[in-house]
Amino acid sequence: MCCISMLFNRQLGMLMLSVFSIVSALAGCSLREIQQQTQEVANVGYIKGKIKVESDERGAIVVLRFRDDNGIPVKESSIIASENGEYTFPVTPGPHYIAAFIDANNDNKYQEEEHGNYHGHPTIIDVPPKQTVTIDPIVIKGKVLKPDTEVRSVEKTKAVWRNIGEVVTMDDPRFTQDNYDMGLWKPADFLDHAEGGLLFLQEYQQGKMPVIFVHGVLGGPTNFRNVIQSLDMRYFQPWVLYYPSGLRLDMISYYLVEAVEQLQNKYGFNQFYVVAHSMGGLVARSFVKKYVERSPDNVNKLGLVMTINSPMNGMSAAASGVKHSPIVVPSWLDVEPGSKFLKGIHSWNWPKEIPYHLVISYTDGESGDDVVPLQSQSQPKLQSESTRMYIFNNDHVGTLSDKGFLQLFNMILSERLEN
């Protein structure tokens, strides 16, 4: 990561640099390695399917994904199917297996007495680059039958999935700017070294309202240090989503949906809040859309959503990067104005049942907060959907430490909790 600091200002990130400075800075870096990792992310495909339950056993349906490694199934991730049994896995191109079981004891782990089944015998699912493969429904009738040939799987679930609900502190050694930089340029290395996850900053406590914080590009949990320190810990418990900001935003929001579902299955909490900064606001809107589409009842579980200085209408700088840069970071494709991702989240209408607080900022003499223009932070559709809109005279990151914002933030959370 020797030259990452040359590429980006710590706070402004990709959004403020010219293409020429990017090319110049990359000359001393591992250009080939960065290109390889960004291409791997760009080639991600999806496996979609449905589970049909014809069993009297009750519980959440856990769907498992295995990567085929020379005939050996290697478990990499697990998710919880929606109420109607549907599921989606973002996957790297290549051969995979899918299995599912009814989690009767809510531990997210398969036991032999639990009912389940696998796709096929099991059968390999070959996913081409950038393609979605929809497989036939998996029917669960009883205990898992022995396959035609003996299958011995290997447990190699990625750390980002194992870390769901892991308790850390804000001084965790993985929360460094070097790792935040790595997450933009080398997302695969980030997942190996910084890991990421939906992390707790204290042990789970029944009765305290979870508040999920979602950072932006080149950011991480420490961006919210002052905001989190201002929380009244008698009533709230902070969780942080930690992810590599170079990934496609749909992948990140898919992960957040699954992580929340797993934690709800484990702890049974009825409501939570989401607070997002910068590009995290796009992730948050995509998350809310997917979460509500999984079940209409989920609108009652989202007690509050707040976006802060978010480029909700995209960034022209991202479009310039896509057009001219020798390396196209996958997340740029989603932040580019008019992208398929942006059209998708804005063609959908925000549910009236979910309070949405829109925070925007500007600096003197500028048409935005030094990073995101006001027209992207506060497009008319967002204003009409928001419960309230708040304007601060501060810069892109400075708002998160603004005393006026911190006071307002806690007042909004407290009033919502009382209601």
DSSP 395: -
Answer CATH for 161-418 from 3.30.70.20, 1.10.287.110, 3.30.700.30, 3.40.50.1820:
3.40.50.1820
Residue found under tokens 């914002």: 405
Domain regions of the chain by residue span: 45-155, 161-418
Burial of 135 (0-12, 13-18, 19+ CB in 10 A): middle
Residue found under tokens 């997002």: 276
Print pLDDT tens along the chain (419 aa). 444 333 333 333 444 333 334 444 444 456 778 888 888 888 999 999 999 999 999 999 999 999 998 888 889 999 999 989 999 999 999 999 999 999 998 888 899 899 999 999 889 999 999 999 999 999 999 998 776 555 566 777 889 999 999 999 999 999 999 999 999 999 999 999 999 999 999 999 999 999 999 999 999 999 999 999 999 999 999 999 999 999 999 999 999 999 999 999 999 999 999 999 999 999 999 999 999 999 989 999 999 999 999 999 999 888 887 887 778 899 999 999 999 999 999 999 999 999 999 999 999 998 899 999 999 999 999 999 999 999 999 999 999 999 999 999 999 999 999 88
Q: How many CB atoms lie within 10 A of CB 107?
A: 13
Residue found under tokens 């991480």: 220
In angstroms, the Cα distances linking 312 to 74, 280, 364 are 38, 10, 22
In angstroms, the Cα distances linking 42 to 130, 180, 214, 295, 364 are 7, 19, 22, 29, 38
- Please state which CATH number belongs to domain 45-155: 2.60.40.10
**Which pair of tokens denotes residue 367?**
């048409």
